[in-house]
A and B are shown apart, each in its own frame.
Chain A
Amino acid sequence: MAPAALPAGAFPLPGKEGMTNAASVPQRRRPGRDGALAEWADRRLKWLLAAPAILLILALSLYPLLFSIWVSFINYDFTVPGHAFVGLKNFQQVIGDPVARWSLVVTLILSSASVVTEFLLGLALALAMVKPFRGRGVAMSVIIVPLFISPVIVGQAWALLLQRPFGPTNYLLGKLLGMDVTISWLTQTPWNFIALVVADAWQWTPFMFVILLAGLTSIPQHIYEAAELDGVEWLDTFIFITVPHLAPMMLLAVTFRLLDAVKLFDTIFMLTGGGPGTMTYSSSFYLYTVGFQQFHLSQATAGSWIFLAMTAIVIGVLVRRLMRVEAAR
């Protein structure tokens, strides 16, 4: 959205901006009835309406972020008294920590694996669900249920299913494959990574599904009918009609999901606890342990700034692009 252009449905204010649309702007308000204060409030209304939200975000988001810059340059450590200025020491400690670097790799592996899995499954499901059939409404309601469940509970549920010796997963797999399955899903690599991806996919595939389904239903039906009259093959229809039409939605779904997936914390907390050792530490989990289990708060803050800087680049590029996509709609 270009800052200068008024979006559809906006009406211009008289006053500083001048009157761009004199016909629709009322001039018949009765002065004196409301008094000068009301008059002033009315003219400043657009900022008065936005002010509470702006103040809340400034106080609870921007101020903490600025405060944390200060924290990251001093010693704010519950194990060391005093707040001495330490320069870049906190940053150096994080960068020099092999666990920190490994956590970045884990975050990349898990978030990309999850997002790809969810995208493919969500797309397949959306394609399967796009045409009406009996019971579609019920199926819809069931498919979206995971979106309303706390990630903590999702982690708990999968822990119940996978944990040895209690969980029924190994038993079922054993019956299915006709042999004994003794996988330690939560402590054995790569199974713990797979468990985390499965739990994430269980919860977030419906996210992709819902967005892609909305995209699919908005593709004009007559294009498909024309393709069918021309005898176009199913695969060609998919590649040359569905994909191009769905592309903006795909971008949106993947972007939104990816930006959340890199924050991965809850399922790791519940399923593997970062273990075995530090094998499944995601960046968020690493920063949490540094800050709240080792109480090196400054180091954690410095680390969170590095993490923030990395995600900010992605956010900046992708979200701006997204807003352009939306404006073009």
Chain B
Amino acid sequence: MRKASRRRRRPFGRFVLIGLWLLFVLAPLYWMFITSIKPSDDYLANPPVWFPSHPTLVHYTAALFAYRGFQGLINSLIISSAATLVSTVVGTLMAYSLARFNTGGGHLSFWVLSQRFLPPVATVLPLFLIYRSLGLHDTRTGLVIAYAVFTLPVTVWMMLAYFRQLPPSLEEAALVDGCSRWRAFWAVAVPLAAPGIVAAMVFAFIACWTEFFFALILTSRNAFTLPTVFRAFLGFQGAQYGEASALAMVSLAPSIVLGTLAQKHLVRGLTLGAVRG
């Protein structure tokens, strides 16, 4: 039966579409990679150089050291990890409260969800002023707190969906055995939810790692993150293609690896738990 339907739906059309799309997805990545290892002389060659005959790594050293990409990398690592940790801990606690005790009726969860859709300009402008008066502007701490809150709605909603999926009977059994509610949460629910927690952490990390707007406004010369380093390559017609590409390669590798590993949870991450993948 499947064979018949396949024949009717012209499988070749499907594969042409998928093939073209894969080409479209890979082309910019390939070109960027090639640019990152191309000697500068090849930039303006016509026809374009599809693969350089003398690949070089000079752009990588230049991007990392001359353009302070390395410091951006370190800042990004520290800030994203710390923000992920805060967001996951705080978010998991809240999600459990919402899932098991229906805290605040639907209103609290809706309020958290609505945070996800606020335009960042609306909060970043005043946050910039507040941070300046508190001395948090251009500090890692400042960006960590901002990112923790910025990723919180997704973490809460992902974990909320995860906890709702877990049967409450095990925790109830723990309560009947004399555990406190905290212990029922900590010793029973958290270990059961571990895969969900890891997935939430991955998505929070990727969100921080790739974030640009907050970092652009809340940092300048000290706490700047990797994505903001790309500003240095703007406006100089053609001179730094290699450096920009090299830095992009460095930056996209970790998030792609993490994202691919957490692929199974992607649907939940993208829809804040509304859809089970």
Contacts and interface: CB of A to CB of B under 8 A. Distances in A.
Residue among B125, B126, B127, B180 having the largest count of chain A Cβ atoms under 10 Å: B125
B36 to A, nearest CB: 10
B167 to A, nearest CB: 7
A76 B129 CA distance: 10
A99 interface: no
A319 interface: yes
Contacts of A38: 180
A239 interface: no
B227 A323 contact: no
B213 A266 contact: yes
Contacts, number: 330
B234 to A, nearest CB: 7
A202 to B, nearest CB: 7
A46 B97 contact: yes
A198 B122 CA distance: 27
Interface string A192-214: 00000000001000010011001
A269 B118 CA distance: 20
A317 to B, nearest CB: 12
Residue among B13, B35, B106 having the largest count of chain A Cβ atoms under 10 Å: B106
A304 B171 CA distance: 45
B245 interface: yes
Contacts of A259: 117
A287 B105 contact: no
Interface size class of A (residues with CB under 8 A): 35 or more
Contact of B275 (A139, A142, A252, A288): A252
B136 to A, nearest CB: 11
B99 A7 contact: yes
The binding surface of chain B is classed by DSSP as helix
Nearest to B255: A148
Contact of B127 (A11, A54, A60, A146): A60
Interface residues of B, number: 124
Contacts of A288: 121, 217
A124 B17 contact: yes
A152 B230 contact: yes
B70 interface: no
Contact of A319 (B114, B166, B185, B259): B114
Interface string B224-256: 001110100111001001001100100110011
Contacts of B148: 56
Contact of B14 (A128, A143, A149, A273): A128
A166 B238 contact: yes
B26 interface: yes
A28 B176 contact: yes
Contact of A146 (B25, B96, B107, B123): B25
A301 B126 contact: yes
Contact of B48 (A46, A152, A171, A269): A171
A176 to B, nearest CB: 13
Interface stretch (B53-61, B192-200, B262-270): B262-270
B106 A3 contact: yes
B98 interface: yes
Given A64-B126, A142-B22, A148-B206, A287 B121 contact: yes
Given A52-B93, A64-B126, 11 more contacts: A3-B105, A10-B168, A50-B94, A52-B89, A60-B145, A145-B260, A153-B248, A210-B277, A269-B216, A284-B120, A322-B274
Interface of B: 1, 4-6, 8-9, 11, 13-15, 17-18, 21-22, 24-29, 31-32, 35, 43-44, 46-48, 89-91, 93-94, 96-115, 117-123, 125-130, 145-146, 148-149, 152, 156, 163-168, 171-172, 175-178, 180-182, 185, 206, 209-213, 216-217, 226-228, 230, 233-235, 238, 241, 244-245, 248, 251-252, 255-256, 258-260, 263, 266-267, 270-271, 274-277
Interface of A: 1-4, 6-11, 13, 24-26, 28-30, 34, 38, 41-42, 45-47, 49-50, 52-54, 56-57, 60-61, 63-65, 67-68, 71, 76, 121, 124-125, 127-129, 131, 133, 139-154, 156-158, 160-161, 163, 165-166, 168, 171, 202, 207, 210-211, 214-215, 224-225, 228, 234, 249, 252-253, 256, 259-260, 262-263, 265-266, 269-270, 273, 283-284, 287-288, 291-292, 297, 300-301, 304-305, 307-308, 311, 315-316, 319-320, 322-323, 326
27 contacts: A3-B107, A6-B102, A7-B99, A49-B93, A52-B93, A52-B94, A56-B145, A57-B152, A65-B123, A76-B129, A121-B21, A141-B263, A142-B25, A145-B25, A147-B270, A149-B256, A151-B210, A152-B227, A156-B233, A156-B244, A171-B48, A262-B119, A273-B235, A304-B122, A319-B113, A323-B113, A326-B274
Q: Which 7 A-B pairs have the closest CB atoms?
A: A3-B105, A148-B259, A150-B210, A46-B101, A68-B126, A49-B97, A53-B94
